[in-house]
Structure 1
Amino acid sequence: MEHRKLGTELTVSALGLGCMGMTYAYGSSDEAQSVATLERAVDLGVTFFDTAEMYGPFTNEVLLGRVLKPVRDRIVIATKFGFKIDESLPHGQNIVGLDSRPEHVKAVAEASLKRLGTDVIDLYYQHRVDPAVPIEETVGAMADLVREGKVRAIGLSEAGAATIRRAHAIHPIAAVQSEYSLWSRDPEENGVFETCRALGIGFVPYSPLGRGMLAGGIRAAGDLAADDFRSTLPRFQPEAFEANAALIAMLEAMAAEKGVTAAQLAIAWVLHQGDFIVPIPGARKVAHLEQNTAAASIRLSPPEVSALGEMLNPQKVQGKRYSEASLAMTNL
């Protein structure tokens, strides 16, 4: 596994592992499979693991802390704060808003350290920009945690270019995490890529497989369980799904010609967009993990990269990546 830099502080495997689906959002999961997947990821050379307070909430951090404890000294764990969680409400209804006040930033860090069973968070992200709190105040609190030795590096998720620059002026930002894939390329268009390159910030694409759609494993909108978060997304509604399936068929045909899977081709394309990019495809099963990590060794020619980019140009995709309400919390 090759390695890449996130800012100046962190060196990680070129491909990380997004762990959200192990406890959150994508319907029921199997803890034994999740444990096996985490352990196999370490065997394959993956050193970058992504979690968050809200994934569960809380249970994802506990899982990672327990399983990865034996190898804690040779891996990088990223977690996130920024949502207001009301534990008195039922599961699925307990994320009730944003909260990036300095006191909350620090309280969540303390709680995450305990759940992860560690004395330092390698990469601490603001999960979503909070319009009610100046980014300078939030990053100031994150910088305090770095000075205290509780956090090694800090990042932002789904932040806009202007916010990234303001944050970076307060304390170096190591990484910006946003959705990015063959069919979701907002960071190319809204100045985020340009800003990251200019400031030496790493970029961490989540959902590089289009929440599983680009992997070809979801054949119809009805394949998703009722409690699967994706069933609420515009791109996974029946009419949009049918239109987008035609694009996936083209991706699968090109992958077959190259002797790889559609998932591997989609991940390889993301990796080829720049050496400052470290995708974190999710996986809950060992077979999917092994398939994804093999993509790190695929080499694409410039014509192949260009052809793929045009084949799944986001202008051809039906449906937005989030609801309008959720999109309102991105690129702030």
Structure 2
Amino acid sequence: MSKQIIISGKPVGPKIDLPTAASIMKTALEQGATFWNGGMFYGTPEYNSLHVLKYYFTQYPEDADKVTLSIKGAFDPKSYQPTGSPAAIRADVERALQILAGTKKIDVFEMARVDPKVPIEESVQALAELVQEGKIGGVGLSEVSAASIRRAAKVARIEAVEIELSLFTTDPLSNGILAACEDLDIPVVAYSPVGRGFLTGQIRKLEDMAADDGRRHWPRYQADVFDQNFKLVAAVEEIAQRKQVPLASVAIAWSRQQGSKIIALPGASKAKQVVQNCTVVELSDEELREMDRLLKSMPVAGGRYPGMLEDQLNG
């Protein structure tokens, strides 16, 4: 099984302890997590996950060739809008390369969202030209529809498609995204396999989240739907208890077993979490059928993203 970690799914800032972060990343590599994912908008233009990556590969230059690095960009964090024009994509790639300063090549560069103002063929062609120039290793897509995937694949080889896939977000099973990736032999990077923390068992009531926790603004964590959504958590937790494994491990396994080339993308901020996430758990056919029955009887309430962010999905 391929393993992957997310370098930072949350904004990073100057207060991040770089030696601690590097130690956790080293643990991930030692556990076999060789596909790493970061974003230029995970933080600020002056300090984001690429700066953390630069620090790591400066400390451990021998690890650069051991890691496949996927970077998301072509997205303006100030306006929260995708920037898919060829000029904007090229500028973002150049900026990413400048930050990394030769410590690590970019193996895959992903458009974080599809820009509705730019035909996807133009965006992908720009990325394909950057591949030809040796600036990046391959083309990636994120949050794209099945139709967009098929259009993009006619322009260039797509090395990865990153989508949200979890027991809380099963849309790719029915909207054609997984089918398109299977047809085109494209690996799927499944982010948020633990439902943004819901499927870790650590959040059992609204009060378990700090007052400043950003998830309090997200649709599935609202008071009017929280109890409904927690029913699914409790039901899957029973399966985890029978298997004597962590709830998160069952959730990750479910996402991974939804296709032949799916890489689950759980975030982690502690070495213990990394080790747990990298421990492979297999679900039996009967367990998978049981979980399918749970999904049908306990539908998840609320959208995936708040406000205009929901409008940017599956372009």
Same fold by TM-score greater than 0.5:
yes
1:138 aligns with 2:123: yes
Does the CA contact (< 8 Å) of 2:76 and 2:83 recur in 1? yes
Number of residue pairs aligned between Structure 1 and Structure 2: 308
Within 5 Å, which residues of 2 pair with 1:265-284?
A: 265-284=250-269
Q: In the aligned structure 2, how far is the partner of 1:151 from the partner of 1:313?
A: 42
Structure 1 pair 309–75 and aligned structure 2 pair: CA distance change class (3 A): same
Aligned to 1:36: 23
1:108 aligns with 2:92: yes
1:225 aligns with 2:214: no
Aligned to 1:11: none
Structure 1 pair 314–323 and aligned structure 2 pair: CA distance change class (3 A): farther
Counterpart among 53, 67, 82 of residue 56 in structure 2: 67
- CA RMSD across the alignment: 2.0
1:152 aligns with 2:137: yes
Identity of aligned residues (%): 36
Does the CA contact (< 8 Å) of 1:22 and 1:31 recur in 2? no
TM-score (norm 2): 0.92
Structure 1 pair 212–203 and aligned structure 2 pair: CA distance change class (3 A): same
1:299 aligns with 2:291: no
Counterpart among 9, 22, 25 of residue 21 in structure 1: 9
Counterpart among 306, 317, 320 of residue 300 in structure 2: 317
Q: In the aligned structure 2, how far is the partner of 1:217 from the partner of 1:172?
A: 40
Higher RCO (C-alpha 8 Å, min separation 6)? 1
TM-score (norm 1): 0.87
Instruction: After TM superposition, give the deviation of residue 321 of structure 1 in Å.
Output: 1.4
1:83 aligns with 2:75: yes
Q: In the aligned structure 1, how far is the partner of 2:210 from the partner of 2:305?
A: 18
Structure 1 pair 146–65 and aligned structure 2 pair: CA distance change class (3 A): same
Task: Give the residue type in structure 2 aligned to 1:79.
Answer: I
Structure 1 pair 227–291 and aligned structure 2 pair: CA distance change class (3 A): same
Does the CA contact (< 8 Å) of 1:179 and 1:205 recur in 2? yes
Does the CA contact (< 8 Å) of 1:182 and 1:309 recur in 2? no
Within 5 Å, which residues of 2 pair with 1:228-239?
A: 228-239=213-224
Task: Give the residue type in structure 1 aligned to 2:65.
Answer: D
Q: In the aligned structure 2, how far is the partner of 1:141 from the partner of 1:110?
A: 13
SS in 1 for 2:265: coil
Q: In the aligned structure 2, how far is the partner of 1:132 from the partner of 1:111?
A: 22
Counterpart among 55, 78, 84 of residue 42 in structure 2: 55
The farther-off stretch of 315-324 and 59-68 is: 315-324
Instruction: After TM superposition, give the deviation of residue 229 of structure 1 in Å.
Output: 2.8
Q: Deviations 1:233-260 (Å, cap 9, x if unpaired)?
A: 1001123222222221111111011110
The farther-off stretch of 123-132 and 268-277 is: 268-277
SS in 2 for 1:218: coil
Structure 2 segments unaligned to the other structure (5+ residues): none
Task: Give the residue type in structure 1 aligned to 2:303.
Answer: K
Structure 1 segments unaligned to the other structure (5+ residues): 3-13, 86-93
Instruction: After TM superposition, give the deviation of residue 276 of structure 1 in Å.
Output: 0.9
SS in 2 for 1:320: coil
Q: In the aligned structure 2, how far is the partner of 1:225 from the partner of 1:145?
A: 43
Structure 1 pair 315–155 and aligned structure 2 pair: CA distance change class (3 A): farther
Q: In the aligned structure 2, how far is the partner of 1:206 from the partner of 1:67?
A: 22
